[in-house]
Amino acid sequence: MSDPTLLVLASLADGDKHGYAMLEDIQRFAGVRLGPGTLYGAITRLEQHGWIRPVRSAEDRRQPYTLSADGRRYLEEQLSELNQIVKIGLKRLKHA
């Protein structure tokens, strides 16, 4: 899974995070190092879709984001599809 938008959604699935926290989390759980430009391209698209939204923060500039209900549903659908592909791929490899 290397789609930046899915990585951001997966990162926010266990709690609100600001940009830097997302970069660190994504590197930890997926082994993917996103650049700031790529991350904010994904954040812009996700917010336009209504899948994430900014939340209030005590910090002035480090803006945390949260997953919306639509975003959670979309992530579940996408992961379910990926899971299906992984299952089929592994099954076929066994029989090859």
Partner 1 sequence: MKGLALWFARWYPRQWRARYGREFDALLEDANLNVLDVFGVVRSALEMRIKSTNVPRLLDMACRDIPHGYELESSVELPLEDGGKILFRSFYRQIDLGDSYVTLTHSSRGSGPAQTILICGKKGEVDGDFRTDETEMLVLQADGTVHRTEQTVKTWLKFDVMIDRVREKYRRGLSAEDIFGQMWSDSDNPLSS
Where on the chain is the footprint of partner 1 (CB under 8 A)? 18-20, 23, 35-41, 43-45, 48-50, 60-63
Q: CB of 48: closest distance to partner 1 in angstroms?
A: 4
Closer to partner 1 by Cβ: residue 48 or 85: 48
Beta bridge partners of 66: 53
CA distances from 88 to 2, 46, 91, 92, 93 (A): 19, 29, 5, 6, 9
Closer to partner 1 by Cβ: residue 50 or 89: 50
Q: CB of 46: closest distance to partner 1 in angstroms?
A: 10
**16 residue type, one letter:** D
Q: CB of 54: closest distance to partner 1 in angstroms?
A: 8
**What is the rounded distance in angstroms from the CA atom of residue 65 to the CA atom of residue 70?**
14
